[in-house]
Amino acid sequence: MSTYFTEAASAEAVNARVGEQSDPRLREVMAALVRHLPAFVRATSAWKAARRNGARNSISC
């Protein structure tokens, strides 16, 4: 694992921190969350930008 935290290595880095002692279900849920969180943030950010641009366009009409 590299010394820098990148999106590509984020799941590996976070899952390594959860540890083997934690509940297996918690590890599974956290692994899924970490895998899908970047896409969720990108989708949400794109939605906010589109909504903001749409609101701006409807005001200028």
Q: Provide the residue type at 27 as one letter.
A: R
Local structure of residue 22 (DSSP, 8 states): S
More confident residue, 27 or 48: 27
Neighbours of 29 (CB within 10 A): 12
Question: Rounded to an integer, what distance in angstroms lies between the CA atom of residue 34 and that of residue 28?
Answer: 10
pTM, two decimals, is 0.55
pLDDT category at 61 given cuts 50, 70, 90 is very low
Residue 25: the pLDDT is 92
pLDDT tens figures, 7-46: 777 778 877 888 788 898 988 888 888 888 888 888 888 7
Q: What are the counts of helices (DSSP H) followed by strands (DSSP E) for the chain?
A: 2, 0
Question: Rounded to an integer, what distance in angstroms lies between the CA atom of residue 38 and that of residue 45?
Answer: 11
Local structure of residue 5 (DSSP, 8 states): -
